[in-house]
Amino acid sequence: MMNPRVLYLLRHGETDHNRFGIIQGRGVDSSLNETGLRQAKAFYSKYAGEPFDLLMCSSLLRSYQTIASFERNGLSVLRDSRIDEISWGEHEGQPGIPERLERFQSIVEGWSTGDFDQKADGGESARELGHRLAEFLDELRRREFSKALICTHGRTLRALVCLLKSWSLSDMEKVGHANTGLYLLQFNGRSWNFLRENDVSHLNIEVQG
């Protein structure tokens, strides 16, 4: 019988784009701001003692910066573009003016009603995101690990949680995704059990330095 495997799945720390309401997406490779770096440090302070044997992030800098401190003893963060943020096409890097927000919200509402093929001009649909994430999860199930730490992005995290719970992607808006919000899961060989969801208790810890 397979020993239970544990997965720590979290969203990256805050960026200035998050702070000012600018859409990032897959095409904007922003870095963490000072708040995001403090969030990452607080997460590390709480979980530094965990014996992770697999570290993974997207190909984007903000996800790597969030968990880079866990690299030690020859264990490096593996980057996988399949868990990049969804591409928002024309919306990426743009301020949230009312007209653009209306178009953006229309796409999200379409997904919530099951129209997974809606997407921004030059962007990616929920169906396309779901396909690459399903491929990633299939490979993850076959990997040998005991305790994994994986850092990704808001919309991608929402879709991953839906897939891991066997929910429809129409339920993505039900999934919370604070900066460095942690989902803690255990795999029993058949399914993933959620132990904690969008946990930000580490942010209550006073980090020195």
Model confidence pLDDT, tens digit, residues 62-113: 999 999 999 998 899 999 999 999 999 998 998 777 888 888 899 999 999 9
Q: SS3 for 167? A: coil
Q: Are 153 and 64 in contact (CB under 8 A)?
A: no
Question: DSSP class of residue 153?
Answer: -
Beta pairing class for 77-79 and 182-187: unpaired
Closest residue by Cα to residue 23 from 120, 117, 116 = 120
Closest residue by Cα to residue 63 from 95, 29, 19, 27 = 29
- Pairwise CA distance, residues 194 & 11, whole Å: 16
Residues in the chain, overall count? 209
pLDDT-derived band at 209, boundaries 50, 70, 90: very low
Whether pLDDT at 183 is above 70: yes
Whether pLDDT at 4 is above 90: no
Please state the pTM of the whole predicted model. 0.94
Residue 118, C-beta contacts closer than 8 angstroms, at least 6 positions apart:
106, 107, 110, 111, 125, 126
Whether pLDDT at 165 is above 90: yes
Apex 27 CA angle, 17 and 114, nearest 5: 90
Instruction: Give the mean pLDDT of the chain.
Output: 93
- Pairwise CA distance, residues 40 & 45, whole Å: 9
Bridge partners, residue 79, by sequence: 57
- Pairwise CA distance, residues 64 & 31, whole Å: 9
The class level of CATH for 5-204 reads alpha beta
